[in-house]
Amino acid sequence: MECTSELGELILHLNKTPVLPIEQANELHRTAFNLALPIMLEGQTYGQAMGGLAILNQPEADFRAELKSIDNDLGRQIGIVNQSLVNWFHKGEIPAPYYAWRIAVILGKAKRKSEEAAFLGAWCKHFGAVRGSRYEALAKRARKLSVY
């Protein structure tokens, strides 16, 4: 399979990293939140105090404009998913599925089905059973490609 190096690294990272049990994720999140709480009480937002995604820590109009501008930017979507995974594995904050969805859509539109399948199989290893319409849509897409 021929992947961009960033996509290949993301897939490899997801495939090699053990699944984080929800109990452990909850404990990580409690710890991270307890560290962030005093910072929030000093006036920072939850996202700022928790070290959340930079794209989310901006005024809504700026966020919407940036989201639109990166809609088909595979590298940027991969970068956001990578940062989301850091937050998941270290702070127990589950990644928003939108950016993973964009990766799948971009790969699908480009007819890069083997890369899309590899990504979705790796993603669903960790998040395929998560409830929510976009998580479920990713799992459905993975099943359609016979990788989940």
Successive 10-residue mean pLDDT values, the chain, 148 residues: 80 98 97 97 94 90 96 97 97 97 98 97 98 98 96
Secondary-structure percent of the chain, ordered helix, strand, coil, rounded to 5: 70, 0, 30
Could you state, in order of their start, the residue ranges of all structural domains in the chain? 5-144
Q: So what's the pLDDT on residue 2?
A: 46
- Taking the C-alpha atoms of residue 90 and residue 84, their distance in angstroms, rounded to an integer, is 10
Q: Distance between CA atoms of 123 and 115, rounded to whole angstroms?
A: 12
